[in-house]
Chain A
Amino acid sequence: MAILVIKDLTKRFGGLQALSKINLEIEKGSIHSIIGPNGAGKTTLFNCITGFYVPDEGDIIFDGRNIAGLPTDQIVRRGIARTYQNIRLFKNMTAIENILVGMHPHLRSGIIGGILRDPRTRKEEQEALQEARRLLQLVNLQGRGDTLAKNLPYGEQRRLEIARALASRPKLLLLDEPTAGMNPKETLEMMNFIRNLRDTLGITIVLIEHQMRMVMGISERITVLDFGEKIAEGTPKEIQSNPRVIEAYLGRGAASGLGVQAQPAA
């Protein structure tokens, strides 16, 4: 069963066709990677799914409901969380506060509760704090909770960002280059961590990744984008041997031997 179905999704920026007629199905409980050269539209796709951009055409059906064009904050409430390619934590808030912000959709207290701190609010805050600490441990950041996010080392910031995304209890987690800037050992740890997330929490995971070893090792399905178009989809094995993918990565004509073709107008 597909948790996310994307139909004919198109997004333009002025004359630039960032995404054209993308069709995509993400199976529930799978780890699905999206790859492609720089500027292929991977992050744009994430931005459309999370409501950061309003798509020009097409539908995004999540859990049976069309979410295309909904505001960002509504989409996360339905169960989609994400991380960012260039880490975007709340830098001047502590790690645990970052996670607490991530839990926002599940908390109820408003301005009155905040001022009066009635028993219900206090209970809610206590439980939220407990869960936040649990999440800190899950990403192996125990003891760092009261550090300002900006003072954490790079790898810890990446993990904190994932913890923050998990705090919204997503059904679908979008990870934008979670291993960017990591060494092979850290990458391997991250891979195991992501797989573990899926296995223990049952979250569907969509990855944007550049490190092929990671992509091939972890994904059940891979979609390849190039210049805003889907050029291939399949299992890691199928993708590895797909001539169009090789062409996209190694340059026009490298696979087909037809020489350099004109690039589509940008």
Chain B
Amino acid sequence: MVCPPFLLSLRKIWRSALIGGGVALLLALVGMVGTFHSRSVINNVVSVGQVLFLFPVWYATYVSLRQMSEERKKVLIASLTAGIVGSLPLVLLLLIGAGINLRAMFVNASPALYKILTFGQNLWPGVLVLIVVSALVTLTAGLLLQLSSRWQRALIQGFLWLFIAGLMRDLILTVTNRWGPLAGVVQFFFAANGLTPLGAVLLLAIVIGLAFRPRRQVESQPVNSRARWMVLGGIALIFLFLPQILGPFFSEILDNVMMYILMGLGLNIVVGYAGLLDLGYVAFFAIGAYTMGILTSPELNAHPLTYWQALPFAMVIAMISGVILGLPVLKLRGDYLAIVTLGFGEIVRLLVLSDWLRPWLGGTQGIQLIAQPKIGNLTLQSQVQLYYLFLAWVVVVVFIAWRLKDSRLGRSWMALREDEDVARAMGINHVTTKLLAFATGALFSGISGTIFAAKLTSVYPHSMNFLVSINVLALLILGGMGSIPGVFVGALVLIGAPELLREFAEYRYLVYGALLVAMMLYRPEGLWPEERRKLELHEEEFVESTSVAAETE
């Protein structure tokens, strides 16, 4: 049996389209398609839910087609048929669902979902429509590949921005509505739900136009320090006025983001710098919050302190507990360390929850009436005021993290991360060095916890679960382990965005999980990777081009 090469590559494409279809089926059954259907990308034309079940097949087809070098006609045939093949899992779902009530098992296999998948048609016409739409969608992948790579990139970028703009409509409008004259311009693009069709076309045109602007050759040039300071100053300015720019609606979210940035910077030292994967990191957050609660709440304490009086105690106790938890795990490496810290985190949580320690820690009821920080006569209690408290700490902590990174201690941490045995053979005392990492990380997390406690004026053991540790870890990995700007990027994307999309809340950890895997597979260094400082050629103006080439990996 001789298989013509075209059939072979066709089979490959069909296979990946089928995988794409499987992903679409999963997204449908998990409920994402249904949940996101209520949000439109383009009003009355395309919903986010529809994108979710069509895009996986399109993407699978596009990626596998790119590896195929066939003539035009064959590519188009392949892409068209891929759409048909890729729609099969969903078609199967529709056919089975018509006969059997799948809902007893899959809670989301509802008539509402079938209606979305059939574009509102009855079963048989609906199946036909689904197959045709799917085929047309994948055909665009074939067509796209006929274009020059520049056009391809421009189009992909255009549709990506289109999608983001439609998805983030509420956010964009809430923010821009505060901007006076600009609000009208922005409103022109948007309908009650998603973009207007005209707005979508315009936006697409704008992005494509921007993609074709003359490219500057900036990437290879070393950034001079003045430009860098200006960028930093700009970012600082934005953060300073962020509550004013975004408006009151976002204050709560901003506080959360800042809280996680603070924790992220701490864990970044432990995991990113020193390479110690700590999965019980939430324990220090809890210890900070609980220390604040115990010392300032009149419930548990006859002589409650003020926030500022209690703060040094909370900081010291967080650091000490970092050291105490760090001591026994010094000899453990890698995965064992992760599991032990996870165990520690759980032990702390269980102890806090127990009736045994209830007289001191409040048990399941937690602690109420926690003091809020006062400056003079002003009590910091509104979300915006607390934002500035967070911001002040973030500035301090960023400074510390940045300075430490390039210090002798920072180098020791990284050496330990890279190769512990050799680091010790270089005279690095692994005990003190690791304990300093644990203590510093615990300190930052503890500070974050104190503000958290003050913000809610109460703490509950249930807000201190393992998921918090996973949130922090996920934002570090997304941003790039060891990278300070990465923490900001990670926190904004992972903590900020989900709170803006209420539909997303339910799928948050599903997406995080997938993200952790995907990042490790495709971009382990993160979105904003850690930068190594140039030390040898620091002062010299002229860098030989060869060594520059060698330094870009």
User: What are 28 A-B residue pairs whose CB atoms fall within 8 Å in the complex?
Assistant: A73-B428, A81-B425, A88-B419, A90-B414, A96-B535, A101-B414, A104-B412, A104-B415, A104-B426, A109-B407, A110-B409, A111-B436, A114-B408, A115-B399, A115-B403, A121-B407, A132-B535, A142-B536, A143-B544, A144-B547, A145-B535, A146-B532, A147-B547, A147-B550, A147-B551, A151-B550, A168-B426, A168-B427
Cβ A88 vs Cβ B422 within 8 A: yes
Cβ A136 vs Cβ B536 within 8 A: yes
* Residues of chain A in range 121-142 having any CB-CB distance to chain B below 8 Å: 121, 125, 129, 132-133, 136, 142
> Given A146-B532, A146-B537, are A93 and B415 also a contact pair (CB < 8 Å)?
yes
* Residues of chain B in range 403-417 having any CB-CB distance to chain A below 8 Å: 403-404, 407-412, 414-415
Additional pairs, 10, CB under 8 Å, beyond known A73-B430, A114-B408: A72-B424, A73-B425, A77-B427, A82-B425, A90-B418, A111-B407, A113-B407, A117-B403, A145-B536, A146-B532
Interface status of A157 (Cβ within 8 A of chain B): no
- Tell me which of B426, B428, B532, B550 contacts A144 (CB under 8 A): B550
Interface status of B400 (Cβ within 8 A of chain A): yes
Cβ B425 vs Cβ A133 within 8 A: no
> Given A111-B436, A115-B400, are A146 and B428 also a contact pair (CB < 8 Å)?
no
Interface residues on chain A, size class:
35 or more
Tally of B interface residues using CB under 8 Å: 38
Chain A residues whose CB sits within 8 angstroms of the CB of B409 once the complex forms: 109-111, 114
Interface status of B429 (Cβ within 8 A of chain A): yes
In the complex, what residue of chain A is closest to B537 when comparing beta carbons?
A146
Least Cβ–Cβ distance between A91 and chain B, in angstroms = 6
Least Cβ–Cβ distance between A81 and chain B, in angstroms = 8
Chain A residues whose CB sits within 8 angstroms of the CB of B544 once the complex forms: 143
Interface status of B421 (Cβ within 8 A of chain A): yes
Chain A residues whose CB sits within 8 angstroms of the CB of B219 once the complex forms: none
Interface status of A71 (Cβ within 8 A of chain B): yes
Interface status of B553 (Cβ within 8 A of chain A): yes
Cβ B404 vs Cβ A115 within 8 A: yes
Cβ B535 vs Cβ A52 within 8 A: no
Chain B proximity mask over A72-110: 1 for CB below 8 Å, otherwise 0: 110011000110100011111111110011101101011
Chain B residues whose CB sits within 8 angstroms of the CB of A72 once the complex forms: 421, 424-425
Interface status of A148 (Cβ within 8 A of chain B): yes
Interface status of A30 (Cβ within 8 A of chain B): no
Chain B residues whose CB sits within 8 angstroms of the CB of A115 once the complex forms: 399-400, 403-404, 407
Interface status of A50 (Cβ within 8 A of chain B): yes
- Tell me which of B418, B425, B536 contacts A76 (CB under 8 A): B425
Chain A residues whose CB sits within 8 angstroms of the CB of B226 once the complex forms: none
**In whole angstroms, how far apart are the Cα atoms of A241 and B440 in the complex?**
61
In the complex, what residue of chain B is closest to A90 when comparing beta carbons?
B418
Chain B residues whose CB sits within 8 angstroms of the CB of A110 once the complex forms: 408-409
Interface status of A32 (Cβ within 8 A of chain B): no
User: Which 3 pairs of residues, A with B, have the shortest CB-CB distance?
Assistant: A145-B536, A114-B407, A105-B427
**In whole angstroms, how far apart are the Cα atoms of A84 and B422 in the complex?**
9
Least Cβ–Cβ distance between B423 and chain A, in angstroms = 7
Chain A proximity mask over B539-553: 1 for CB below 8 Å, otherwise 0: 000001001001101
Interface status of A164 (Cβ within 8 A of chain B): yes
Least Cβ–Cβ distance between A183 and chain B, in angstroms = 22
Give the interface centre of B411, B429, B544 by most chain A CB atoms within 10 Å: B411
Cβ B425 vs Cβ A114 within 8 A: no
In the complex, what residue of chain B is closest to A164 when comparing beta carbons?
B426
Cβ A94 vs Cβ B535 within 8 A: yes
Chain A residues whose CB sits within 8 angstroms of the CB of B215 once the complex forms: none
**In whole angstroms, how far apart are the Cα atoms of A104 and B425 in the complex?**
10
Chain A residues whose CB sits within 8 angstroms of the CB of B412 once the complex forms: 101, 104
Least Cβ–Cβ distance between B434 and chain A, in angstroms = 12
Least Cβ–Cβ distance between B233 and chain A, in angstroms = 20
Cβ B547 vs Cβ A129 within 8 A: no
In the complex, what residue of chain B is closest to A111 when comparing beta carbons?
B409
Chain A residues whose CB sits within 8 angstroms of the CB of B534 once the complex forms: 94, 146
**In whole angstroms, how far apart are the Cα atoms of A89 and B412 in the complex?**
13
Chain A residues whose CB sits within 8 angstroms of the CB of B415 once the complex forms: 90, 93, 101, 104
**In whole angstroms, how far apart are the Cα atoms of A157 and B154 in the complex?**
42
Chain B residues whose CB sits within 8 angstroms of the CB of A147 once the complex forms: 547, 550-551
In the complex, what residue of chain B is closest to A110 when comparing beta carbons?
B409
Cβ B411 vs Cβ A146 within 8 A: no
- Tell me which of A89, A104, A146 contacts B536 (CB under 8 A): A146
**In whole angstroms, how far apart are the Cα atoms of A129 and B429 in the complex?**
22
**In whole angstroms, how far apart are the Cα atoms of A23 and B409 in the complex?**
39
* Residues of chain A in range 15-35 having any CB-CB distance to chain B below 8 Å: none
**In whole angstroms, how far apart are the Cα atoms of A88 and B429 in the complex?**
18
**In whole angstroms, how far apart are the Cα atoms of A71 and B421 in the complex?**
11
Give the interface centre of B408, B419, B533 by most chain A CB atoms within 10 Å: B408
Cβ B414 vs Cβ A76 within 8 A: no
Cβ A52 vs Cβ B421 within 8 A: yes
In the complex, what residue of chain A is closest to B530 when comparing beta carbons?
A92
Chain A residues whose CB sits within 8 angstroms of the CB of B430 once the complex forms: 73
Cβ B403 vs Cβ A93 within 8 A: no
Chain B residues whose CB sits within 8 angstroms of the CB of A142 once the complex forms: 536
- Tell me which of B421, B436, B537 contacts A145 (CB under 8 A): B537
Give the interface centre of B404, B424, B427 by most chain A CB atoms within 10 Å: B427
Cβ A101 vs Cβ B426 within 8 A: yes
* Residues of chain B in range 504-541 having any CB-CB distance to chain A below 8 Å: 532-538
Least Cβ–Cβ distance between A240 and chain B, in angstroms = 33
Least Cβ–Cβ distance between A173 and chain B, in angstroms = 12
> Given A90-B419, A143-B544, A148-B532, are A97 and B425 also a contact pair (CB < 8 Å)?
no
- Tell me which of A71, A102, A146 contacts B535 (CB under 8 A): A146
Chain B proximity mask over A136-171: 1 for CB below 8 Å, otherwise 0: 100000111111100100000000000010001000
**In whole angstroms, how far apart are the Cα atoms of A65 and B436 in the complex?**
31
Cβ B427 vs Cβ A97 within 8 A: no
In the complex, what residue of chain B is closest to A72 when comparing beta carbons?
B424
Chain A residues whose CB sits within 8 angstroms of the CB of B538 once the complex forms: 129
Give the interface centre of B414, B419, B425 by most chain A CB atoms within 10 Å: B425
Cβ A93 vs Cβ B411 within 8 A: yes
Least Cβ–Cβ distance between A55 and chain B, in angstroms = 16
> Given A90-B418, A104-B412, A114-B403, are A146 and B425 also a contact pair (CB < 8 Å)?
no
Chain A residues whose CB sits within 8 angstroms of the CB of B424 once the complex forms: 71-73
